[in-house]
Amino acid sequence: MRPTSSAICPSAIALAALLIGSPLGASAASTTAQYTATFDATWSQATHPSMFPPGPHWSPLVGGTHSASVSFWGQGQIASQGIEDMAEMGATTPLANEVSAAITAGTAHSVILGGGISPSPGSTSVSFTMDQSFPLVTLVSMIAPSPDWFVGVAGLPLFENGNWVGEKTVTLWLYDAGTDGGPTYTSPNLDTSPQDPIALHTTLPGYNGVQMGTFTFTRTDVVGVGPETPASTISFARPSPNPAFRSVSLCFSLPRAAVAHLAIYDATGRRVRQLASGMQPAGERALTWDLRDEAGRAVGAGLYLARLDTGGNSLTQKVLTLE
Whether residue 303 has pLDDT greater than 80: yes
Non-local (6+) Cβ contacts of 323 within 8 A are 300, 301
In angstroms, the CA 319 to CA 242 distance is 6
The pLDDT tens digits of the residues spanning 253-293 come to 888 777 888 999 987 778 899 998 888 888 888 999 999 99
Q: Confidence band (pLDDT; 50, 70, 90) for 4?
A: very low
Selected residue with higher pLDDT from 223 and 286: 286
Whether residue 77 has pLDDT greater than 80: yes
Whether residue 121 has pLDDT greater than 50: yes
**What integer pLDDT is reported at residue 118 of this predicted model?**
93
Whether residue 2 has pLDDT greater than 60: no
**What integer pLDDT is reported at residue 136 of this predicted model?**
98
The answer to whether the 11-25+225-321 and 32-219 domains have the same CATH topology is yes
User: Fold for domain 11-25+225-321?
Assistant: Immunoglobulin-like (2.60.40)
Q: In the chain, pLDDT over 70 holds for what percent of residues?
A: 85
**What integer pLDDT is reported at residue 53 of this predicted model?**
94
Torsion of CA 148, 152, 155, 159, to 10 degrees: -170
- Say how many C-beta atoms besides its own lie within 10 A of residue 2's C-beta: 10
**What integer pLDDT is reported at residue 23 of this predicted model?**
32
- Whole-number mean pLDDT of the chain? 84
In angstroms, the CA 135 to CA 68 distance is 8
Domain 32-219 is of which CATH architecture? Sandwich (2.60)
The whole-model pTM stands at: 0.65
Q: Where are the domains of the chain?
A: 11-25+225-321, 32-219
Q: Which residues are paired to 46 by β-bridges?
A: none
Give CA angle at 317 (311, 318), nearest 5°.
145
Task: Classify burial at 53, counting beta carbons within 10 Å of its beta carbon; exposed 0-12, middle 13-18, buried 19 or more.
Answer: middle
User: Which residue type occupies 317?
Assistant: Q
**What integer pLDDT is reported at residue 161 of this predicted model?**
86
Q: Confidence band (pLDDT; 50, 70, 90) for 59?
A: very high
Q: Confidence band (pLDDT; 50, 70, 90) for 54?
A: very high
C-alpha distance from residue 242 to each of 83, 235, 274, 277, 286 (Å): 47, 18, 19, 23, 15
Q: Which of 63, 217, 59 is nearest to 142 (CA)?
A: 59
The pLDDT tens digits of the residues spanning 17-45 come to 333 233 333 334 589 988 999 999 999 99
| Distance from the first to the final alpha carbon of the chain | 17
